Each structure stands twice: as C-alpha cells, then as structure tokens.
Amino acid sequence: MAKKKNSVDNSQWMVIWHSLKSNKVAFICLILVVLLFLLSVSVDMIFDYEEDIIKQTISERLQPPSMKHWFGTDAYGRDYFSRIAYASRITMFIALASTFFAAVFGILIGAAAAFFNAKLDNIVQRLLDIVIAVPTILLAICVMAVLGGGVINMIVAFTISQIPKFSRIIRSSVLVIKENEYIEAAEAIGASKMRTLITHLIPNTLGTTLVQITMNVSYIILSTAALGYLGLGVSAPEPEWGLMLSEAREFMRSEPYLIMIPGVVIVVTALAFNLLGDGLRDAMDPKLKGYRKSKGKEKLPILPISENISKDEVLRINNLYVKYSTPEGDVMAINGVNLSLNKGERLGIVGETGAGKTTLALSILRLLPKGVGIPYKGDIYFKGKSIHAMDEKNMRTVRGNLISMIFQDPMTSLNPVLTVGDQIAEVLRQHGKQKQDAEKRVDELLQLVGIEASRKICYPHQLSGGMRQRIVIAIALACEPDLLIADEPTTALDVTIQSQVLAMIDEIQKKLQTALIMITHDFGIVAENCDKVAIMYAGEIIEYGEIEQIFNKENPHHPYTVGLFNSIPDLYSDQKRLIPIPGLMPDLSDLPKGCVYADRCPYRIERCEQRKPSVRQYSDGRQIKCHLFLEDEKIEGRARC
C-alpha cells in the first residue's frame, strides 16, 4: 500500500519535472540557481580571502572594468568581481538558512493549528496577526539595531518575520485536505492523528510550499542587501552586496559601475528565484497557461447553399467539422454534422458527455474559445446567411437578439457582482431598447419566468438555483429570438424544478414560435419537449428522426440508440435489469478509421472498422449512419430491439 502511494507521488513529481524542463525560462533559472549555489559553497576554494578579498591596494583604486579587473576595482583597490562573487556566500547562506527555518517552523505551526483544534488555531492566528502587522523589514531593523549586525542575528530576524507566510499557506492547504476522504479513511483504519498528519498532509502541501520557498529566498536576498545598505547587516570588510552599494554611493558621479554592477547582480539573483517559483507554480497548476493561438487566421471555407432555402428554414448546418487545437494535439469535437431546423420546430440533441453537443451550440453562436475551438470545414447558415462569413459587428447583432442560448450551469452563468435585473436589462440595451423601455421589459420578463419583478435588485447569490436558471432563461428570451438553444437547461436543478422550467420554456416557445434546440442527455426531456431528435456520438449525428420514429421500437435503429434505450429504465417492460453500454467513447484526439461506435458495437462487422459508414436516408426523413442499414450492403442479422 505504502509502496503504491510512493509510486503515485513519484510520477506526480515526474510530471512536474517534465513540465518544468519544457519551460525554457524556468529551466534556465533553475540552472542559474544551481550554479549560484555551487559558487556560494565553493568561494573559499576559488578565492583566497585575505589576498583576493580583503587586501587593499591603493595604487589600483577605482579602476574601471578591464580585462584584468572584469568589474573594475573599488575605492580600496580591491577586485570588484572577486568581492561580488565572494559575497554570494553570505547572501545565499542567510537567504537559504532563514527560509529553511521559517519553512520548518511555519509548516509545523500552520499544520498543527489547522489540524488539532479550533481554539489553538484561533490563538495562533491572532499571534501571527501581530507579527504580520509589523512590516518585515522594520522587525528586522529593530532586531539588528539591538543585537547588532551579524549573520546569525539576521537569520533570526528573517525567520521570525517569515514564519506567518508559511504557516498561513500550510494552514489553508491543510484545512482543505483535512476534509478529503482519504484522511477520514486513514483515521478509520486506526492511524493516529499525528501519523496521519505526517504521512498524508505534509507531502500534499509540499508543492505550494516549494513555490513559496523560492519566492521567499528571493525576498530575503533583497532584504539582506537592504539591511546591508543601511549598515545594519554584516560589517566591513566582509563583502556583502548591500554594503558594497552603500560604500559605492559617494562615487556615483565618477564611477557609476560601482553602483550598477552589484545592483544588477542582486536583480538577476532575485529574478532567477522568482522565475523559478513561477515556473514551478505553472508546472503544478497548468490550468492558467492557456493555449497558444495558432498562427495565422485559418480561412473558413464557405459553401454556397445549393438547394433553394424554404422561407421557414431558420438554421442549416452543412457538413460542419470543429476541432480544438491544444498543445497535446488536435481534439476532433465535431466531425461532419448536417442539420436543418424550421421555424417553430423543436429539435432535441441527445448524447453522452463529450459527444460534442455544447461545441455544436457554441459554434452556432460563434462563441468557441478563441484560437482554440476552430471550425475548419463546412458552414452554418442562419436564415440563409453564413455565420462564418459574417463580420464581428453583424455577428453581435445576431447574438442574444436573433439567436440566444440558455447555458447549462445557472450557478456560474450569472455575474456574481451585478444584480439580476441589470444582467437582463443589459441584453435589451445592447439590442437597442431605451433605458426605461428596458426596465419595463425586465419586469415583464421576470413575470414571464415566474419571478416577482421586485426581485430584480437581487444579486445571483441571493436566489436559489431554480430562480437563477429562470433568470438565465429570461436573458435568453429577452429579445424574442428566432432560435433558442437550451444547453442542458435543467441538469443543475432538482427534479420538481426541472419540470417547471421545461414547461415554461415550452410555453414560451409555443407563444413566440421560436425554433428550439434542446441539448440534453435525458430521453424523457426529449420525448416531452421536442419534435425531432438527433443522436450524437463522438461528434457525429448517428441517428436523426421525428420523435415518434425514434421512440418506435419497431423501426430499425442505430446500435448506439438501441444501447441508449436499453440503459434507461422502462416502467412497462418486463426487463429485470438495465443493460449498460460497455466501453467508452473513442479518444477524440485519435479517432478510429472506421465507424466511431465500432469498438462498443455488439453488431460490429469487418467493414465497420475499415471505413466510415455513410448516411442511410429513409423516405420518412429518418437518417441512420451505420453500415448495417446501407442498402447496397446486404447484411444478415440487423439490429432490432
């Protein structure tokens, strides 16, 4: 058991290491830090302290940088380069030692405070508040002024002032981890609290601590120099960067290099530690890195609409392909989708998570993450106009006005710092309503979605999940769009609220004759609220038809549809247990050559793995994308339920 845990840890560190290695800046800084460390421990071997560092040669005083003296000489004729290099020893020693002690004490205090009991925690926090109230450098100045300069005193002063930083970080990490189940599990199997603390908590907070350590070293390097400059640090003739700067001050006019060089050395050293810390943080938390935009704008192919469009057609999607371009490679999210939707029609798109439903919805509004989600083939036509060809200004008049979207998660879809009334009014104002008209309309809309108009001054956090979703719906309906896309509008709600919200969408849709796309993974919702269904799998529509056709078991169906129906409970069947579909959806970054469902399909035949099936078009409008139903491919034993 212990071994297994170790191997997990190792691989985690390996991931961090690889990520760090691929980050050029951080890697250079790591090398720089290591070199600096090696220099600082070996200065006594490189330089003779008495001869190279201390000995004054008045005849050579204030020589500018040359081949003999790379950094020139100081006011006492001492080689500046040797002194600066030698000074790394004392700075590194103070920075590393005080960071080490501060980290050790900080971790112990923070972990203990968070782990044992709230009373102790409270007392410790108040004590740390006191230390924090005194600016670090002032505390250090006081200690140095009383105890006198010297390395040990500086370490003591910095250690005390830095303990709160570490203990706070550790404390909050511990409080989070403490709630995790594995800690409870460890306690349940009888491990003592102390043992649990050491074996589980400390390794888990090591990452954050490591980042803080590098940042802290950099901070102490700066502070050491600052104290040295004030004359409170080490005393002459020992070389120290801050002290050297204060000696150089009087030669500011004639020998600027005396000020420039040590300063640059300090900056570079501190920078190396800071950038290393940054790199470590990125390596451990890659979510902020974002994706690099692909170079150059990819021209979208715009296909002319060949057939004559009927007046009622609101949306047409022609052979659409969308990929997400990520550093790990392209993810093929939509692979050749064709759809058409008429005025007042209600289309359900069903599929499991990751089938590309939301991507499809966002493509229609052209809201895919910029530079990452790229539609690279096919086109989308809204009322006969190509969405891809539209310029941004026209697109904005479409969004929220002609096409609007109800988003999935009402908890995160509303801005927490604006009132809900403002958020509804915003879309109205955007599309040309005057302020007073907008206000009136907000009241109407709130009534429409069943919320008292007086609640418009509420912030999202003051409303329940169901009410927030009604607000999201009110925003989507505000401008009476021609096309409404509802992306799992009820997933985040509990069942009773679900039916209310759906009934409301249905009512409004009927009233306004809006075309509706309902994205869901719930067949029940589709059955009640849609006229047509498209079943999506791995970015393709594998079956399409009218609701009665799809739900009619006598009709032939795609094996995936059959699998889906078998995995939902049916009150009227004799079936004893549900049959889940074995396996997982294929990896979208590495799609199979043949049919996307072949891997999981119980009716798989040879050609399924060799090439993609085309679409079988039935006379009643149904479409199935499966080799089993292609007329020119006569096969025995079709799937039937």
Partner 1 sequence: MWKYIIKRLFMLIPVVIGVTFLVFFIMNIKPGDPGRMVLGLDASQEVVDAYNTKLGLDQPYLVRYAQFLSSLLHGDFGNSWYGGDPVIDNIKQMFPVTLKIAVLAIIFATVVGVPIGMLSAVKQYSLVDRIASIFAMVIASTPSFWLCLLLLMIFSVHLGWLPSYGLTTWKHYIMPVFVLGANTLGICIRMTRTSMLEEVRQDYVRTARAKGMKEDRVIIKHALFNSLIPVITAVGTNFSLLLGATVYVESIFALPGLGNYLIKAVNAKDIPIVMGCIVVLAIATVLINLLIDLLHSAIDPRIKAQYVGPMKIKTKKEEKTNG
Residues numbered 353 to 382 that lie near partner 1 (CB under 8 A) are: 365, 367, 369
Q: Is 407 in the site for partner 1 (CB under 8 A)?
A: yes
The distance of closest approach from Cβ of residue 637 to partner 1 in the complex, given in angstroms and rounded to an integer, is 47
Nearer to partner 1, 336 or 354 (CB): 354
Nearer to partner 1, 202 or 259 (CB): 259
CA 603/CA 617 separation, integer angstroms? 20
3-state secondary structure of 525: helix
Report the alpha-carbon angle 576-577-581, nearest 5.
145
Walk across the sheet containing 540-546 and list its strands.
403-406, 483-487, 515-520, 346-350, 532-537, 540-546, 623-624, 616-617
Tell me the two tokens of residue 99: 């960071």
**Number of Cβ within a 10 Å radius of residue 604:** 17
Cα first-last separation, the chain: 47
Answer for which of 39, 54, 97, 131 binds partner 1 (CB under 8 A) is: 131
Q: Which of 52, 60, 121, 278 touches partner 1 (CB under 8 A)?
A: 278
Q: Applying CB under 8 A, does 90 fall inside the site for partner 1?
A: no
Site string for partner 1, 292-311 (x = CB under 8 A): xx------------------
129 near partner 1, rule: CB under 8 A: yes
The verdict on 80 binding partner 1 (CB under 8 A) reads no
Report helix, strand or coil for 55. Answer: coil
Cis peptide before 237 (omega within 30 of 0): yes
DSSP for residue 145:
H
Does 125 engage in binding with partner 1 (CB under 8 A)? no
Which residue of 259, 302, 305, 615 would you call a contact of partner 1, by CB under 8 A? 259
Question: Least distance in Å: CB of 274 to partner 1?
Answer: 5
Contact segment (CB under 8 A) with partner 1 among 297-305, 308-316, 415-423, 439-447 equals 415-423
| Least Å from the CB of residue 146 to partner 1 | 5
Q: Do 363 and 380 contact (CB within 8 A), yes or no?
A: yes
247 interacts with partner 1 by CB under 8 A: no
404 SS3 class: strand
Largest Cα separation within the chain, whole Å, is 107
Would you count residue 130 as binding partner 1 (CB under 8 A)? Answer: yes
User: Should residue 230 be labelled a site residue for partner 1 when binding is judged by CB under 8 A?
Assistant: yes
In this complex, which beta carbon is closest to partner 1, that of residue 46 or of residue 142? 142
45 counts as binding partner 1 under rule CB under 8 A:
no
- Does 286 contact partner 1 by CB under 8 A? no
Residue 135 as a binder of partner 1 (CB under 8 A): the answer is: yes
The answer to whether residue 218 forms part of the interface with partner 1 (CB under 8 A) is yes
- Shortest gap between Cβ of 569 and partner 1 (angstroms)? 32
SS (H, E, C) 270-326: HHHHHHHHHHHHHHHCHHHCCCCCCCCCCCCCCCCCCCCCCCCEEEEEEEEEEEEEE
Scanning 10-18, 194-202, 331-339, 455-463 for contacts with partner 1 by CB under 8 A, the matching segment is 455-463
**Identity of the residue, 375 or 563, whose beta carbon is nearer to partner 1 in the bound complex:** 375
3-state DSSP call for residue 429?
A: helix
Contact 111, 168 (CB under 8 A): no
Give burial (CB, 10 Å; 0-12/13-18/19+) of 159.
buried
Quick note: the x/- pattern for partner 1 over 587-616, rule CB under 8 A, is ------------------------------
Q: How far is the CB of 609 from partner 1 (least distance, A)?
A: 38
- Tell me: does residue 276 bind partner 1 (CB under 8 A): no
Answer for which of 275, 280, 525, 595 binds partner 1 (CB under 8 A) is 275
Q: Which is nearer to partner 1, 373 or 466 (CB)?
A: 373
- The binder of partner 1 chosen from 28, 39, 62, 127 (CB under 8 A): 127
Assess 390 for contact with partner 1 (CB under 8 A). no
- Residues 143-172 contacting partner 1, CB under 8 A: 143, 145-147
Assess contact for 483 and 402: CB atoms under 8 A: yes
Q: What residues form DSSP beta bridges with 385? A: 382
> Quick check: 319 binds partner 1 (CB under 8 A)?
no
256 contacts partner 1 (rule: CB under 8 A) = yes
Q: Does 415 bind partner 1 (CB under 8 A)?
A: yes
* Strand 483-487 versus strand 403-406 pairing type: parallel
Q: Compare residues 75 and 305 and give the one whose CB is closer to partner 1.
A: 75
Q: How many residues bind partner 1 (CB under 8 A)?
A: 82
β-pairing verdict for 373-382 and 313-326: antiparallel
Cβ contact 258:248 at 8 Å:
yes
∠ CA 484-427-353, rounded to 5°: 40
Residue type, 277: G
- β 385-386/403-406 pair status: unpaired
Alpha helices in 47-180 (DSSP H): 80-115, 118-133, 136-147, 151-178
- Closer residue to partner 1 (CB): 258 or 502: 258
How far apart, in whole angstroms, are the C-alpha atoms of residue 125 and residue 113?
8
Nearest distance, CB of residue 583 and partner 1, angstroms: 31
| Shortest distance, position 113 Cβ to partner 1, whole Å | 17
DSSP per position, 617-640: EPTTS-EE--GGG-TTS--SS---
Specify the residue, 472 or 581, whose C-beta has the smaller distance to partner 1.
472
Using CB under 8 A as the binding rule, the residues of this chain from 457 to 516 that contact partner 1 are 457-459, 461-462, 472, 475
The correct pick among 96, 109, 270, 504 for binding partner 1 (CB under 8 A) is 270
Radius of gyration of the chain (CA): 34
Q: List the structure tokens of 483.
A: 């096309």
